[in-house]
Amino acid sequence: MLKNTDIHIRDPFVLPDVAERRYYLYGTTGAETWTNAASGIDCYTGTDLQTWEGPFPAFRPPATFWADRNFWAPEVHVYRGRYTMFASFKAEGVRRGTQILAADSPQGPFLPVSDGPVTPRDWECLDGTLFVDASDRPWIVFCHEWVQVGDGEICALRLNDDLTSSIGQAHLLFHASEAPWAQGVNSRGRKGYVTDGPCLHRLANGELIMLWSSFSAGGYTVGIARSTSGDILGPWQQQPDPLYAGDGGHCMVFRTFDGQLRLAFHRPNPTPGERPHFVPLRETATSVELA
């Protein structure tokens, strides 16, 4: 059995499987994050968010798979009766993008559904997540990377019902610099504002918020934006203060089997220290806060 401190992953994502009453934990394999080769995507299973079995192979790329590195930020959602994975991939000379995969089990094996990435092929994109609107239409919400645009963007793009392709043009939701707490970064001669890891959450009163990550005076940081229309296209208003500014981020929100809200994120941000953390969260009238 493994403890959270034994699991070296970034971008943790938890899928509570109600039928099994087991949690499935996915993430970017820490040792492979920044290398030019990736072996696949793994998962861990457990019942208490403290001890885990694994890792188990959830995805191993077929010989014809288009990407060979940066297998980042896997998320698994239950969509129309199947387990659907959104994950980011890259290859030499090919822009990073989010590919959609699916399986009949949360442990996989996951196989490609879309023909390559569903994010725009000429954009550097990452951290795609699934959002289903009030009309039961699927969307991908993702980051248009700061390394290409300078001021990182979070965008939304309609998907067709079987998730095999996107529909129409991407919609810009907001720039990273719109958050009052966000600070620019300077990495390898590039300067800009980072957008990472969008996570949509519908409050009990129906309001729609988005948790997302960038950098602040506290290092890697989680902030919150609110859709003033309650719809994915916003407009989006940034909360002036971050939710968490302790050099941890790329979060997601889930409920435990007893209905308690939890925030999952990795901390600290520098390699090789990253580990998954799960902390209590509570809703307020218009947002969420650490409990």
3-state secondary structure of 98: strand
- The percent of residues in the chain predicted with pLDDT above 70, rounded, is 100
Task: Provide the CATH number for the domain around residue 264.
Answer: 2.115.10.20
The predicted pLDDT at position 187 comes to: 79
The predicted pLDDT at position 13 comes to: 99
Which residues constitute the domain of residue 141? 2-290
Q: Is the dihedral of CA 276, 149, 119, 41 positive or negative?
A: negative
Contact assessment for residue 213 and residue 221, using Cβ atoms and an 8 Å cutoff: yes
From CA 238, how far away is CA 174, in angstroms rounded? 9
The predicted pLDDT at position 222 comes to: 98
The predicted pLDDT at position 190 comes to: 83
Residues of the chain with pLDDT under 50: none
The pair phi, psi for residue 268, each rounded to 5°, is -75, 180
- Name the helix (H) or strand (E) containing 282: strand 275-283
Point out which residues pair with 278 in neighbouring strands: 264
Please tell me the pTM assigned to this model.
0.97
Cβ neighbours, 10 Å, residue 68: 16
Contact assessment for residue 85 and residue 104, using Cβ atoms and an 8 Å cutoff: no
Q: What mean pLDDT is reported for the chain? A: 97
Total domains in the fold of the chain: 1
